Chain A
Amino acid sequence: MKKLIEICWHGRGGQGAKTAAFLFADVVLSIGKYVQAFPEYGPERMGAPVQSFNRLSDYPITLHTSILNPDYIVVLDSSLIKSIVLKGVQKLVKIIVNTSFGIFETAKELNVDPKQVYVVDASRIALDMIGKNIPNMPMLGALVKVIKILDINNVLDSAKEKLVKKFRHKSEVIEGNLASIRCAFNEVKNF
C-alpha cells in the first residue's frame, strides 16, 4: 500500500456521499489503518452537487487540506460526469461511476483511458434492493472491490453495525442496504 490513498466522492445532496465516506472510514479503521473522512461544506441543498473525501494510510494522517488529486473518484450520479474536471491527473486516478452505460462510453465522456474507468448500475441496484434511488451503499461496495485492500465481509459487518444504530426498527432497510453493497461489489466491472 502506498503511503497515502485519497478518495473523492461526487454526488448530489441527498444521495448519501457524506454517509458513504464516513461509513468507509469506519470500515478502514476496522482493518487497523489511519483514516480521515470529511465533507466539502457549502450551502447544503437537495440535488446540489456535493463532494466528500477520504484519506487512508498506514501512518498517522496529519494533512488537513482538501483533496485535489485523488487516487479514486466515486461518482454517485452520472449526470455529474461533465462537471468533474480532471486536473493534474498525472497519476492514474481510478474512476468508479454509477451508470447504466458501458465502460467505453463513460470513458469517452470523461475523456480518460477506459482502463481507468469502472462502472456499476448502482441506482438500479438501490431501486431493486432498497426501493429508493440512494446509490451510496452500492457505490461503497463497488469501491471496496476496486480498492482491493478491504475484505467485503468486514465491510458488511461494519455497515450492519452502523445501519442498526440508524434504522433500529426497520430490519428490511438494513437487509436491503447490505444486499446492495454485496451486489455492487460483485457487479462492478472494468476493462
Chain B
Amino acid sequence: MIKIMYPKGKLVTKTGNEIMAEAMRQIEPDVVAAYPITPATEIMQIFSQFVSDGTVKTEYVAVESEHSAMSATIAASAAGARAMTGTSSQGLCLMWEMLYIASGLRLPVVMAEVNRALSAPINIHSDHSDTMGARDSGWIQIYSENSQEAYDNMIQAIRIAELAKLPTLVTTDGFIISHCMEVVEVYPDDDVKEFIGDYKPDRYLLDIKRPYTLGSITLQDYYFEHRYQLAKAMIDAKCIILDVAKSFKKKFGRKYDFYETYMLDDAEIAIIIMGSTSGTVKVVVDELREKGIKAGLLKIRIYRPFPVDQIAKDLAHLKVIAVMDRADSCSGSFAPLYLDIISSFYVSEILNVKIVNYIYGLGGREISTAHIFDIYKTLDKIALGLEKPFKQVEYVNLRKTNE
C-alpha cells in the first residue's frame, strides 16, 4: 500500500496542472488574472471553473494578454489582495517588463508556471528556457520534480512570497508533469488554509487611513539603493525558505530544502539537474549502485535565490560532476545552472572537483535512462583519468550530422 505522510492526507490521481489548480483552490487567493497558453491553460481553466461554481470566492479577471494578466495581478497585490496568476513560455516572455515591476515593488505575487520552450521555431514541449530568461528578474524560482512537489511547493510559495515580500513562481515541466497523471497526497482544505494563514500586508493601497505613493521615480540618487534592497531581500529569503520548509515538514511531514541529494554522501560521480528528469536520474543511480558504481544526484529545487555558499560544500567529496541544463544561454560560454554551480565552487575555494556541462531536452527532446547511463559512463571515465573533462558544453541526444 502507498504510505501517506500526513494522517489526514488523501491519495488522488491528478496531473500536474490539475494539482496546481487544486492547490490554488485551497489557497483561495483574492484575485487571479490569467491568459491561457499551452501547456498551462488547464490550470486556469480548472480554476476558473471553481470560480464559476462558487467553490472559491476569488475574483477572476479574464484579461487580453499575459502582460495584462501580470499587470492586473500586480495591481491587485498592491491594493492588498493575495493575488496569483499562471503562464508558460511566450506568456512569461510577454510578462517580462511586469516581472521586474512586481519584484521592484516587492509584491508577493505567486505564479504557477509550466516550463515550455521558446519560439522560434515554435514548440510547445518542455525545457527551462522560459524561466531561465526570468532568472534575474528578482523572482524566487521553485522547480518541481513531480506533481506532489508542485502541490507542496505551491502551498509553501504563498508563505515564502509573503514573508520575503518577493514574487515567487513554482514550475513544473510542460507535458512531462503538467499532463502526466500521478499519485498525489492532498491535504484537507482547512489544514492548508491554516498553514498559509491570512494575508496581512504591512502596507496596501486600499488602506485609506495610511495612504502612500507606489511606483514613484527614483533617479541616480536612490535607484541603486532600492535595487540593492531587492538583492538583499533575495539573500534574506534563503532563511525564510528554510523556515517555511521546516514548518511544512512539521505540519505535513514532507521534507524540503534548497536541493535534494540522492545517494550523494559516498558518491564519486554525480549529476546536478532540475525538474522532472531528476526522477529518471534516480532510477539510473539505483541501477548503477547495484553494479557497485558510486553514482549520486543533486536536484535543485530553489534556483533563485541560489544557495551559492552551501552547495559546493555538499559536493566537495566528489570526483566528477555533470551539470545538466535544460536551457541554452547561447552565450558562447556555458549554460545558466553550470555557471551558478561553478561560482559556488570558486567562492567555497573547492577547486579539485572536475565539473562538466551538458545541455539536454530542449523542446521536449527525449532524455531516456540510456542517455543518462552514457553520461555517468563518461563521468566514470573522467574520474579514472581515461578521458579529459571537456571544456565546452556537450549536447545530449542531438544530431549534429546525419546519423
Contacts and interface: CB of A to CB of B under 8 A. Distances in A.
Direct A–B contact in complex, judged by CB atoms less than 8 Å apart:
yes
A25 B13 contact: yes
B183 A22 contact: no
A62 B280 CA distance: 6
Given A29-B13, A34-B2, A64 B177 contact: yes
B106 interface: no
Nearest to A40: B175
B180 A41 contact: no
A33 B367 contact: no
Contact of B369 (A38, A39, A41, A63): A63
Contacts, number: 65
A187 interface: no
Contacts of B368: 65-66, 68
Interface string B354-369: 0000000000001111
Interface residues of B, number: 29
B175 A41 contact: yes
A22 to B, nearest CB: 6
A130 to B, nearest CB: 24
B363 to A, nearest CB: 12
B70 to A, nearest CB: 27
Interface in A13-58: 22, 25-26, 29, 32-39, 41
B13 A35 contact: yes
Contacts of A35: 13, 181-183
A94 to B, nearest CB: 22
Q: Which of A33, A34, A62 is most buried by chain B, counting CB atoms within 10 A of its CB? A: A62
Interface in B135-193: 145-146, 173, 175-177, 179-183
A92 interface: no
Interface residues of A, number: 20
B239 interface: no
Contacts of A62: 145-146, 278-280, 282-283
B71 interface: no
Interface in B284-336: none
B1 A32 contact: yes
A26 B367 contact: no
Contact of A26 (B2, B13, B283): B13
A125 B368 CA distance: 38
B369 A65 contact: yes
A37 B13 contact: yes
A91 to B, nearest CB: 16
B366 A65 contact: yes
A82 B113 CA distance: 40
B280 A63 contact: yes
A34 to B, nearest CB: 5
A36 B276 CA distance: 13
A64 B181 contact: no
Contacts of A22: 13, 181
Given A29-B13, A33-B2, 18 more contacts: A22-B13, A25-B181, A34-B2, A36-B182, A37-B13, A37-B180, A38-B180, A39-B179, A61-B182, A62-B145, A63-B283, A64-B146, A64-B173, A64-B276, A65-B280, A65-B367, A65-B368, A66-B368
